[in-house]
Chains A and B, each alone.
Chain A
Amino acid sequence: MDQMNSLSIHDDPVPSPSSEPRKQKKKKVLLMGKSGSGKSSMRSIIFSNYIAKDTRRLGATIDVDLSHVKFLGNLTLNLWDCGGQDAFMENYLSQQRQHVFSNVGVLIYVFDIESRDFDRDLLTYRSIIAALSQFSQSASVYILVHKMDLVVPNQREDMYNDRVSLIRSKSDSFDPTPFATSIWDQSLYKAWAEIIHDLVPNLDQIEKHLGSLGKLIMAEEVLLFERTSFLVVSSWSSKGIITSDKDQPAQNPTYDRNERLSNIIKNFKQSTSRYTGTPKSAEQFSVFDLKMPNFCMFLIKFTTNTYLGVVLPPGEERFNAAKLNCYIARTHFEDLDSPARKSADRGVSGDSGELA
């Protein structure tokens, strides 16, 4: 580890010493791709509350930037943002090979759609894949075809599909999950939300409980946000929005709503941070209520690492009862979030000031 540079820009959430969980799970996540493809940019947006414009200030990453992100379910992500200049890449593949590629949980490989030498990018990708299969056979691989905003809209789909099929063919025994992304819209949130969704332990349990909570409070949708990234790590939609066809309940037609909501809230957190003078990484709000004529919703600070979002039909009674029930359910979810913490040191309302 001593040769690792940590010139990182991260502002990790600081866990208070008392909450240091006993059974911590760690996941090593490699973020790779050629220099300038946008790795540090996305990491800063997702985990350090940068806005897209801020990424222009980032310099090339020297060697590896390591950050630890404490996550729900007692999970700590060890994020390795690997500088992509040739000299570093060669070094990862030779001297540091075992150090870099062993115990990898996830490899996120970023391709720059604008790259002039895609064949060369593919070759590098192949070598990385070879090293990964040597040391971490069971890792999951995600490929992000990035900077899609630079492609004319009507060519995006073709170009993306083209690249993805070529990349797939060079992926050995791995079965990579592909995404088209750009820091200039919510596509980045979508990709990372899915990656993180796959990483969170106990998620099936959490989802089951979200579903029963949703039914109990007659919600239309329930969303669980990870608090640092404000990504939706889990969501549930009601099948009770009945239509004339009994077997075909209605759904909110905005399919990318979760990413969009993350984006809206993260942007507003920039404003509140400016307003209050508190750091962007701080929790900026504890409750958000919205009542409209044809729906209502609330977002509340939920467990240590999460916010909960609920969308409901209009109605004062339903709204109040639902909110109350969610606060009651909080303790229960807290155990799924960080099982090692004693429930005793969490008061229902004592939710502020836990950030350093």
Chain B
Amino acid sequence: MPVLHTGRRRSNQNRSYNGPARQGPVRHLSVAQLNLERVYEQNRLNVQKRDGANAPEPAPGTAAKGKPRLLLMGQRRSGKSSISSVVFHKMPPNETLFLESTARIQKDAMHSFMDFQVWDFPGQLNFMDPSFDLDAIFGEIGALIWVIDAQDEYHEAINRLNSTILNIYPNYPNVNVEVFIHKVDGLSDDYKLDIQRDIMQRIQDELSDHGVENAPINFHLTSIYNHSIFEAFSKVIQKLIPHLPTLEALLNDLCRACRFEKAYLFDVLSKIYIATDSSPVDMPSYEICSDYIDVIVDVSEIYAWPRPPEYIQLLEGPPWNKKLEDQTACNDAESCIVLTDGKRPIMLREVNKYLALVAIMCEGSYEKMPSVTMNVESTVKGLTEVFNITRQRRE
């Protein structure tokens, strides 16, 4: 069932008193409930030693069969498990204080618009140990996310990152290395940039000393206490999406046709955006669109209770004499809010079970909503087709 329709809450717990709420709209869910929603498997890593020193094949491209993997690595307590819990399991950031150190690799399988896996590594694990089958780890990798705690001493973290890159680069040159300079909440903007420059420099120097130039390494400033971690993940995941250029072209066309300021295609549950039009991404527009999804999910949770069949019959009887679904123009979630400031509307349209299109429209365009809706309709059709093709290929 799409989250947008039913909200997140699945329990029928006693609601006479709803306990302390957290910041943001009140939610009533435990991690356990969420795990049900997004089938959450945690397999034990079963590291097999493979015989022989077989030369690993080059890493398959992202569109290859199988599920792309996001590997979260870095020093102990750098924040890997926190990131995975906040982004993929909706854990409120302050609850990560109670996370225990990870003892073995945690594998999460995400079944969303595309299936992918997130592997959360224990910080102390030395996977360069010859007993590890590198191919089993890096063979189907989508991205290697290296988390560095920016509030801590980071030289050791960089040394390990460098040796990791040097170790895997010869065999897996296509691996995207994404460095998350993490926990930047509380750091001043200047200081953040200084750290970033310093870290980039140290990595580049070391790698070029070893003759590695132009390795695909990207840097992100992140924190679980704001939207930056979602933004960073959005950028990482976009690189794994087949047909991304097609999706972007569709969004560009839509923005041009409807004079949208900005359009995002969101994964509703994680609130990662998987594609956007080509105008520059700015945090404020991402945040407002992301928060708007929360509003829709939370409001739906309250009002989407199942109506009795007798009532529905009445609504489908005279004078309408039509099935309810034929009385609506669109059978997916649709919403719009007009901000008083500049009369700018923000619109949301469900694309499929997992995805929603959220866009910031231009000033005063609420009156043009009917024609906007038509354009959106055809964009949604295009997007759905792209995803259907991708799925068929996979199967």
Contacting residues, chain A, for B304 (C-beta < 8 A): 292, 294-295
Binary flags per residue of B115-128, CB closer than 8 Å to A gives 1, else 0:
00000000000000
Shortest Cβ distance from residue B264 to the other chain A in the assembled complex, whole angstroms: 14
Most buried by B among A51, A243, A285, A292: A292
Cβ contacts under 8 Å, A253 to chain B: 305
Q: Which of A81-89, A99-107, A267-275 contacts B (4 or more CB under 8 A)?
A: A267-275
Closest residue to A293 on the B side, CB-wise? Answer: B331
A 183-200 to B, binary, CB cutoff 8 A, 1 in contact else 0: 011110000000000000
Q: Is B54 an interface residue (CB 8 A)?
A: no
Which residues of B sit under 8 angstroms from A149, Cβ to Cβ?
A: 19-20
Asked if A243 contacts B310 (CB within 8 A), the reply is yes
Q: Which of A30-38, A123-131, A207-215, A309-317 participates in binding chain B?
A: A309-317
Whole-angstrom distance between the Cβ of B285 and the nearest chain A Cβ: 8
Q: A106 to B119: give the CA distance in the assembly, Å.
A: 58
Cα(A309)–Cα(B302), bound, Å: 14
Min C-beta distance of A318 to chain B, whole Å: 8
Q: Are A242 and B311 interface neighbours, CB within 8 A? A: yes
Which listed residue (B20, B25, B284, B330) contacts A267, Cβ 8 A? Answer: B25
With the chains together, A294 CA to B285 CA distance in Å?
29
Chain A residues 301-340 with CB under 8 Å of chain B are 311, 313-318
Q: Does B315 make an interface contact (CB < 8 A)?
A: yes
Point out the residues of chain A lying under 8 angstroms from B343, CB to CB.
Answer: 286, 352
Stretch from A10-18, A39-47, A63-71, A258-266 that touches the partner: A258-266
Known A-B contacts A263-B26, A267-B24; the reply to A283 vs B303 at CB < 8 A is no
Question: Whole-angstrom distance between the alpha carbons of A241 and B291 in the complex?
Answer: 32
Contact residue range for chain A?
35 or more
Are B26 and A186 in touch, CB under 8 angstroms?
yes
A263 to B330, CA, bound (A): 28
The total of Cβ contacts below 8 Å across the A-B interface reads 181
Identify A293's interface contact among B332, B337, B338, B339, CB under 8 A.
B332
Report if A203 contacts B (CB, 8 A). no
B327 — which chain A residues lie within 8 A by C-beta? 314-318
Partner of B5, one of A289, A293, A297: A293
* Whole-angstrom CA separation of A185 from B18 in the bound complex: 7
Select one of A53, A153, A260, A271 contacting B287, CB under 8 A: A271
| B307 adjacent to chain A (CB < 8 Å) | yes
Q: Which residues of B contact A295 (CB under 8 A)?
A: 303-304, 307
Q: Which residue of B lies closest to A148 (CB)?
A: B17
A245 to chain B, nearest CB (A): 9
> Known contacts A267-B24, A275-B288, A293-B5; is A250 also within 8 Å of B311 by CB?
yes
A277 CB contacts on chain B under 8 angstroms: 341
Pair A153/B340 contact, Cβ less than 8 Å:
no
A285 touches B19 (CB 8 A): no
Assess whether A275 is in contact with B287, with CB atoms less than 8 Å apart: yes
The reply on B137 being an interface residue by CB < 8 A is: no
Interface residues of B in 283-324 (CB under 8 A from A): 284-285, 287-288, 291-292, 294-296, 298-308, 310-311, 314-315, 320, 324
Would you call A297 and B299 a contact (CB within 8 A)? yes
Flag if A292 contacts B337 (CB, 8 Å): no
Q: With A153-B19, A244-B308 given, is the CB distance from A286 to B340 under 8 Å?
A: yes
Set B19, B285, B330, B333: member contacting A185, Cβ < 8 A:
B19
24 A-B contacts (beta carbon < 8 Å): A149-B19, A153-B19, A182-B20, A184-B20, A250-B311, A252-B303, A257-B302, A271-B292, A275-B284, A275-B339, A276-B342, A285-B340, A286-B340, A287-B337, A289-B334, A290-B296, A290-B334, A291-B328, A295-B303, A297-B303, A313-B324, A314-B328, A315-B324, A352-B340
| Interface residues in chain A, defined as those with a beta carbon under 8 Å from any beta carbon in chain B | 51-53, 148-149, 153, 156-157, 180, 182, 184-187, 240-244, 250, 252-257, 260-261, 263-265, 267-268, 271-272, 274-278, 282-295, 297, 311, 313-318, 352
Write the residues of chain B forming the contact surface with A, with a CB cutoff of 8 angstroms.
4-5, 15-26, 284-285, 287-288, 291-292, 294-296, 298-308, 310-311, 314-315, 320, 324-325, 327-343, 366
The 4 A-B residue pairs whose C-beta atoms are closest, nearest first, are A149-B20, A276-B341, A315-B327, A185-B21
